[in-house]
Amino acid sequence: MFTNPFTPLAPFVSPAVLQGYIVLMALAVAIGTVFDLLHEKKLTFFMQERKRAKAAAKLQLSAADMAAIATRTLVHDVATFGEFCNRHRRISHVLMFYGFVLYLITTIVMVCIYPADTHTPVVLPILWNIGVLMTLVGGYWFFFFLRVNVVHDGQPPWRLVRADLFIVTLLASVTFALLLAVVEMAENSSATKVFASLYLFFTTLLFVSVPWSKFAHMFYKPVVAFQRRVEEADGSSDLPTPTTKGGERCPHSRT
C-alpha cells in the first residue's frame, strides 16, 4: 500500500503520457475557470460590485489595514472555512480541502519526479494515502449527511442536481484512485487496467467540468470573503451589521 501507486501503470501508460496528462488537466482548470468567469459574467459582477463599494466607502483603508484584513481572511475564511456555522460542515470541508491538496501534490511529485521509480521515498505514498482517506471521509460525510437538499429538504442522498457535479466527480476520482492502489497490490494486470481507466475517466471529468461544477468556487471564495471584510471595514457594505461575537457573520451556506 505504501509504494508509488503510479509505478505499476508504466507498462500500460508511459510516464511521459501521465506527465502530459497532468499539464492538460491544469490547463483545463485554468481555461474552465476563465470561461466560467466570462460566460457566467461573474467577472463583470465582481468589477461592478467593487466599483460600487469603492464609491460608497466611508473610510480610506491603509496598507496596514488591508494587510490585516487579508490575514484575517486567510486564517478564518480560507484556512479554517469559518464561513460555515455548522461545525460538521466545517470539519467535512477542512478534511476534503486539505486531503485533496495533499493527494494532488503528492500525485504530481510521484508522477513527475519519480516516474516508474520503485525507489520513491516512502513518505510520499504514505502522505498520498492520508490525503485520499481525508478526502473520502470528508466527502462521503458531506455527500450523505450534510448536503442542504438532504438535510433540510428531506430528499434522498441519491438525488443529484448540477450543484453535485463537483462532489460526485471528486469522490469518484479519489475512490478509484484508492481502489487502483489496492488492485495493484494483487498484481492483476487486467484489474489494474480496468481501475486505471475508471480512475482516469473520472479524474478527467472532474477537471474538464469546471465551467459547470463548483470546482472554481474554491478560487472565488477567498476573493469574495476578502472583499466582504474590506467593505465592512470601510463602511461600504450594504449587508446588516454583524451581531455575532467578534463581529463574524454566520450565513446559511449552500456549498
Closest by CA to 96, choosing from 178, 218, 2, is 218
pLDDT, tens digit (0-9, with 9 covering 90-100), for 109-124 = 999 999 877 789 999 9
Average pLDDT, stretch 140-166? Answer: 79
Q: By the 8 A CB rule, do 214 and 161 touch?
A: no
Distance CA 184, CA 10 (A): 12
Q: Cell numbers for 208, please give them.
A: 474538464
Q: Cell numbers for 152, please give them.
A: 433540510
Closest by CA to 233, choosing from 220, 243, 242, is 242
Q: By the 8 A CB rule, do 199 and 5 touch?
A: no
Q: By the 8 A CB rule, do 233 and 59 touch?
A: yes
Of 32-36, 149-153, 249-253, least confident by mean pLDDT is 249-253
pLDDT, tens digit (0-9, with 9 covering 90-100), for 197-234 = 999 999 999 999 998 888 888 888 888 889 989 998 98
Residue type, 227: Q
Which pairs with CB-CB distance under 8 Å and at least 24 residues apart come from 128-131?
A: 128/5, 128/102, 128/103, 129/1, 129/2, 129/178, 129/181, 130/99, 130/102, 131/98, 131/99, 131/100, 131/101, 131/102, 131/103, 131/104, 131/105, 131/106
Q: Cell numbers for 139, please give them.
A: 466527502
Q: By the 8 A CB rule, do 136 and 178 touch?
A: yes
DSSP assignment of 125-170:
HHHHHHHHHHHHHHHHHIIIII-HHHHTS---TT---GGGHHHHHH
pLDDT at 55: 87
Of 2-6, 91-95, 185-189, 216-220, least confident by mean pLDDT is 216-220
Domains of the chain: 7-234 (1.20.950)
Q: Cell numbers for 177, please give them.
A: 484512485
pLDDT at 252 > cutoff 50 = no
Residue type, 198: L
